[in-house]
Structure 1
Amino acid sequence: MNILRELHEAETELVGKTVVLTNGKAGTIDRVFLDDEHGLRISVAGHEGRWRISTVKHIEG
């Protein structure tokens, strides 16, 4: 399944990286999710909620 392979690759690439979101929240990506409506979403350690990958303003690590 291509979708699951792509999700796994995204998890491998993103989990543990530090991000700044467009709303100013910052932290380390701790999980990656697949959302039927919006595609990839991430959760950031220390913040409640899940954000679309498109809301990432800066990523490093």
Structure 2
Amino acid sequence: MPQMPRAKAHASAILREYHEAETELIGKAVVLTDGTAGTVEELYLDEAHGLRLSIAGHPGKWPVATIKLAQK
């Protein structure tokens, strides 16, 4: 049974980082490497691709790693 607490600790760490990313990005202006720009509306945790974001006025979801510039 020692694996359960470790798994719970990993899950808690993932959620903590996800919420930190939400705080840092939601409502902020960003420019992506492909030139897409706008305000981050929502973040998604995608099993296959990791953290993705949606931008107001643009259909689709992009990997967070494609952020070139972000409002501070």
TM-score normalised by structure 2 residue count: 0.78
Say if 2:61 is the partner of 1:53.
Answer: no
Corresponding position of 2:5: none
Q: What are the ranges of 5 or more consecutive residues in structure 1 without an aligned counterpart?
A: none
**What is the deviation of 1:38?**
1.9
RMSD of aligned residue pairs (Cα, Å):
1.0
> Deviation above 4 Å: which 4+ runs of structure 1?
none
Aligned to 2:24: 13
How far, CA to CA, are the matches of 1:20 and 1:49 in structure 2?
A: 15
Give the structure with higher Rg (CA).
Answer: 2
Structure with more contact order per residue of length (Cα contacts < 8 Å, sep ≥ 6):
1
Q: Please, which runs of 5 or more residues in structure 2 have no aligned partner?
A: 1-11
The alpha carbon displacement at 1:37 in A equals 1.9
Query: Larger helix proportion, structure 1 or 2?
Result: 2
SS at match of 1:23: coil
